[in-house]
Amino acid sequence: MTLSEDQKQEIVNARSRTEKTLRASSAGMEEHLYNAHEVLDHGFVRVIDYMGNDSSIVQAARVSYGEGTKESRDDEGLIRYLMRHWHSTPFEMCEVKFHIKLPVFVARQWIRHRTANVNEYSARYSILDREFYIPEPKHLASQSKINNQGRGEVLSGNEAEKVLQILKDDSSRNYDNYENMLNQENKKGLARELARMNLPMNIYTQWYWKIDLHNLFHFLRLRADSHAQYEIRVYSDIMCKIVKDWVPMAYRAFDDYRVGGAFLSEKAILNMKRAIKGEEVNFETSNMTKGEWSELLKVFPDLKR
């Protein structure tokens, strides 16, 4: 169970206090506020606050005195134009604050995105809960044979069981020892800032994470990369859904121009020019490396006739 009864009650309370505001708001986002979307076995994503909506992007691009345009069709056209031409500053005018619970090894990847504001739960000040990420068997992948930092086939049978047992046992034992060190019968107990180092990196931590829409899109786009680890991708999948409800026009533009799009190199363009003239294009004549060629084939499988 991810949330305690007390925590659930706090969320119910928070959702019961409606206030009047003159600010731009988003009906889709109000639905998400405070509610926890479960991720992995103990994690979650909750929206704590947000600023702006689709029309805030338009307003900023126009440095306008009032609302956006009369016609929402024009708003969408402008938003698409801004996205297509990498005009990032109007998207920076929307902001969102999440409360996220996630395993430490995921947090370590996540924090590499430096353009966000973060307040993490302090294990120097407080004692962490006994909550560890134990993968579902179907996600227990082996090392990829092709990709040095990716996953291959899923482990099965004894092998999978053995791995799960190790993860559970070590988590449990290290947490027991963490508690022991903190609380030495009638003794002083080790400082929390030291005891925490005994905890393995599948333990859960949590933080408040605040970011503007442009940088959030950048973060979310990277999950589309085939190199992103499953355990971080599940968080960005949830956030994509939330953003879609918050700023539907901006999300559609993002989806079309970034998620579904692809960057072609100069060489790739040359090959595509040949292909649309009806020439046969293959690896040998492509002047590309194997890696480049296979990435082009992913976008245009029909090149491989």
> From the CB of 235, what's the least distance to a copy of itself, in Å?
15
**213: how many CB neighbours lie within 10 A of its CB?**
26
> From the CB of 238, what's the least distance to a copy of itself, in Å?
18
Q: Coil, strand or helix: which one is 132?
A: strand
Comparison of 94 and 238: residue with beta carbon closer to a copy of itself:
94
> From the CB of 117, what's the least distance to a copy of itself, in Å?
4
- Angle subtended at Cα 40 by Cα 38 and Cα 43, rounded to the nearest 5 degrees: 55
Which one of the listed residues 108, 223, 274, 305 is annotated catalytic? 223
Comparison of 14 and 285: residue with beta carbon closer to a copy of itself:
14
> From the CB of 202, what's the least distance to a copy of itself, in Å?
4
Q: Coil, strand or helix: which one is 55?
A: helix
CA gap 94, 53 in Å, rounded: 7
Is the CB of residue 57 less than 8 Å from the CB of residue 250? yes
CA gap 236, 213 in Å, rounded: 13
Comparison of 229 and 237: residue with beta carbon closer to a copy of itself:
229
Comparison of 67 and 72: residue with beta carbon closer to a copy of itself:
67
Q: Which amino acid is at 300?
A: F
Active site residue 305: no
Buried-exposed string 148-166: b where 16+ CB fall within 10 A, e elsewhere: eeeeeeebeeeebeebbee
Comparison of 23 and 284: residue with beta carbon closer to a copy of itself:
23
| Non-local CB neighbours of 87 within 8 Å, separated by 6+ positions | 61, 81
Q: Coil, strand or helix: which one is 129?
A: coil
Which residues are paired to 193 by β-bridges? none
CA gap 285, 271 in Å, rounded: 9
* Cα 27 off chain centre by: 23
Q: Which amino acid is at 271?
A: N
At residue 143, φ and ψ (nearest 5 deg) are -65, 135
Is the CB of residue 2 less than 8 Å from the CB of residue 38? yes
Comparison of 187 and 284: residue with beta carbon closer to a copy of itself:
187
> From the CB of 247, what's the least distance to a copy of itself, in Å?
14
> From the CB of 125, what's the least distance to a copy of itself, in Å?
4
Catalytic positions are 223
